[in-house]
């Protein structure tokens, strides 16, 4: 189905007639719950739909349609990953990124009502664009996803064509003429199509709630009926796709009807119900009562009902307490029992029905795994509760569910979760028997074992690295290949030189010098920091910051510095840049450090410090009769030290006495 020609009335956009297109087949067997969690068996499957349940006057409630917080960016990404899986051409909605220029705030010129607030641009994933559009326009991301599917089948396509992406939402594609090229393109389609859906209500344009004649198809001879459009959302859908399904179309929800059938609004209703649950209010009290009967009523494990909790018609969630547990119900997930036991105890500790887990969306089911051990688990709206054997019940956030499942779930190498997720905003990390998973707002990923060891050594999410903010990515460099991963406070780089975190104070300068592909190359040691100053050793030298000044240690001085222990050795941090020096006894280089001075000449690079440096400076330094140092100071157990120079030596006695000079 395609949205019709964009027309103008008092400056507002609208959709004209539409033409039907070939039906996109629905998947009949649903093996995941509406919340995106793994179902354990038939009890977790969606209820079968019947075309007899389609109400042409109430296709979807306003609450569900105009929900600006229906899904997070991470939930949208997890949903797309689940529906699409592996992409064959790199253009699928779950893998593609888009360079979006952003939009200004849009208001109706006829009513002055807000249509969409400004949408920030950037190079972002499709899931993030859908999320931003949802928030800006107040149209549920679920509505956007369903529209992308019913128009071009993009939510399940593993190899979408350029044409399908260009007309993704069917926006500005009339029934009797080619699509308007001004609206072509995936980002433009998502934003303008969603904006259009909001325009119908905000601008009070075209069909509004009330009685309207709705045809069965573009062919007027096929007829139609007068329909009482009971809310703005249903009116908007008929403005966008101005036909209702006829009896043959409703009799065959997974296929075609007859020559007078249209499928756009039928498919919208069908996809939404299958993916996200009912599009209209369900009597939660009735569903709870039915689940109570299924569980055995007063003779079952729940026992007698406790004080009756109200569940008014129109509620999206309700629950009821019993002697042996509770039943929780949600409009999207149905009614499910939580019996007294470990899962219920953990659920109540997390806040119960009003807490972070949400309502249950499955029963507590046994889980068998010959590889990692048996246990049990139960799905909730926002988490999956898992317990190995009789161990603690641990909640797995929805944001980690897709990648965990792709790695084999509890039966894979990761095994069972061993600690609760630790989260900061939208970022979470969670430890499993065989490793750690993390997520950002746009992706979820596994932390490699070697990096994980270093991360745990740095204190994990509460340590100096903070939370992961990207997955690990391969990096090529003239100085050897490796990989990198970003965290809240550092960038972690892995190469043949080890796994090392680049201090945030050094990262901007390091990047400006070419990063891993520049002269410094890969880090070969962790940064050493004191107060606001840091120094770190790389393949090609040391980079340090002293206040706002950035310093490098390179060449022969760097070699000697490294041999002395580098930034944590006797020299300390550099305190000046390297300088070229020219003297009667030869040219060389000099550089100051916290604890002395490094001098490099044809004789080598050596460090002069303490009382020897004081005497050396008083004797004219490298331009005096002593000239350049020929070796590092040699000290004996008593604390006395001697250092050789071109023109003699300097000795510092044990204790604090002054050093003496011996020429010749």
Question: pLDDT digits over 299-308, tens only?
Answer: 999 999 999 9
How far apart CA 241 and CA 198 sit, in angstroms, is 14
Mean pLDDT of the chain: 89
* pLDDT, mean of residues 454-478: 94
Q: Is the separation of the CB atoms in 214 and 18 below 8 Å?
A: no
pLDDT tens for 66-97 read 999 999 999 999 999 999 999 999 999 999 99
Domain locations in the chain as residue ranges: 23-276, 281-340, 585-664
- Closest listed residue to residue 238, CA positions, set 227, 249, 252, 248: 227
Q: Is the pLDDT of residue 16 over 80?
A: no
Distances in Å between the alpha carbon of 469 and those of 94, 359, 438, 485?
19, 29, 9, 8
Answer left, alpha or beta for residue 496, where phi above 0 means left and psi between -120 and 50 means alpha: alpha
DSSP-based three-state secondary structure for 100: strand
pLDDT tens for 142-151 read 999 999 999 9
Beta strands 604-608 and 596-601 are antiparallel
Q: Is the pLDDT of residue 235 over 90?
A: yes
Q: Is the pLDDT of residue 131 over 90?
A: yes
Q: Is the pLDDT of residue 534 over 50?
A: yes
pTM summary value: 0.57
Cα dihedral sign, 347-349-352-356: negative
Q: Where are the alpha helices (DSSP H) in 382-527?
A: 398-406, 449-457, 507-512
Phi, psi of 448 (to 5 degrees): -60, 150
Q: Is the pLDDT of residue 23 over 60?
A: no
């Amino acid at each position: 189905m395609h949205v019709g020609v964009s027309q103008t009335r008092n400056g507002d956009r609208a959709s004209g007639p539409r033409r039907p297109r070939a039906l996109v087949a629905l998947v009949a067997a649903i093996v995941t719950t509406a919340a995106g969690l793994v179902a354990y068996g038939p009890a977790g499957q969606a209820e079968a739909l019947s075309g007899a349940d389609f109400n042409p006057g109430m296709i979807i409630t306003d609450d569900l349609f105009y929900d600006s917080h229906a899904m997070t960016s991470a939930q949208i990404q997890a949903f797309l990953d689940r529906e699409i899986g592996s992409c064959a051409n790199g253009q699928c909605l779950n893998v593609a990124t888009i360079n979006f220029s952003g939009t200004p705030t849009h208001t109706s010129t006829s009513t002055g009502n807000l249509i969409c607030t400004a949408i920030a641009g950037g190079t972002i994933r499709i899931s993030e664009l859908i999320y931003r559009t949802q928030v800006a326009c107040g149209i549920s991301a679920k509505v956007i996803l369903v529209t992308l599917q019913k128009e071009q089948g993009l939510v399940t396509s593993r190899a979408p064509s350029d044409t399908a992406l260009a007309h993704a939402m069917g926006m500005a594609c009339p029934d009797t003429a080619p699509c308007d090229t001004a609206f072509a393109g995936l980002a433009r389609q998502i934003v303008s199509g969603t904006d259009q859906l909001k325009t119908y209500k905000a601008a009070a344009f075209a069909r509004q709630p009330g009685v309207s004649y709705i045809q069965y198809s573009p062919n007027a001879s096929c007829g139609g009926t007068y329909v009482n459009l009971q809310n703005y959302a249903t009116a908007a859908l008929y403005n966008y796709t101005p036909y209702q399904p006829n009896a043959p179309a409703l009799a065959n929800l997974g296929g075609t009807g007859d020559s007078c059938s249209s499928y756009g609004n039928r498919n919208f209703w069908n996809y939404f119900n299958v993916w996200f649950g009912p599009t209209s209010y369900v009597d939660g009290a009735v569903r709870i009562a039915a689940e109570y009967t299924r569980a055995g009523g007063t003779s079952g494990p729940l026992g007698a009902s406790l004080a009756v909790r109200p569940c008014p018609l129109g509620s999206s969630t309700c629950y009821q307490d019993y002697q042996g547990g509770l039943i929780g119900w949600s409009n999207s997930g149905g009614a499910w029992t939580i019996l007294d036991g470990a899962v219920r105890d953990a659920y109540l500790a997390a806040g119960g029905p009003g807490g972070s887990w949400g309502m249950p969306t499955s029963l507590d089911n046994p889980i068998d795994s010959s590889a990692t051990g048996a246990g049990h688990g139960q799905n909730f709206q926002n988490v999956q509760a898992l317990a190995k054997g009789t161990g603690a019940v641990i909640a797995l956030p929805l944001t980690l569910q897709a990648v965990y499942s792709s790695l084999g779930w509890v039966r894979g190498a990761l095994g069972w979760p061993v600690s609760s997720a630790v989260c900061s905003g939208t970022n979470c990390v969670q430890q499993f028997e065989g490793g750690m998973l993390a997520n950002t707002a746009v992706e979820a990923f596994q932390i490699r074992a070697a990096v994980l060891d270093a991360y745990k050594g740095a204190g994990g999410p509460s340590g100096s690295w903070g939370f992961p903010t990207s997955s690990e990515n391969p990096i090529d460099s003239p100085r050897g290949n490796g990989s990198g991963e970003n965290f809240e406070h550092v960038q972690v780089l892995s190469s043949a030189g080890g796994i090392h975190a680049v201090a945030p104070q050094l990262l901007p300068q390091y990047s400006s010098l070419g990063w891993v592909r520049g002269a410094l190359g890969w880090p070969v040691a962790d940064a050493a920091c004191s107060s606001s100053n840091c120094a770190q050793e790389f393949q090609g030298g040391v980079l340090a910051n002293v206040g706002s000044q950035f310093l490098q240690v390179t060449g022969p001085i760097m070699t000697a510095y490294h041999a002395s222990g580098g930034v944590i050795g006797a020299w300390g941090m550099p305190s000046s840049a390297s300088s070229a020096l020219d003297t009667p006894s030869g040219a060389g280089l000099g550089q100051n450090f916290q604890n002395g001075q490094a001098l490099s000449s044809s004789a080598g690079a050596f460090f002069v410090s303490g009382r020897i440096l004081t005497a050396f400076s008083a004797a004219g330094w490298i331009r005096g009769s002593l000239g350049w140092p020929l070796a590092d100071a040699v000290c004996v157990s008593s604390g006395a030290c001697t250092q050789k120079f071109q023109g003699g030596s300097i000795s510092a006695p044990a204790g604090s006495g002054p050093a003496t000079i011996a020429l010749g």
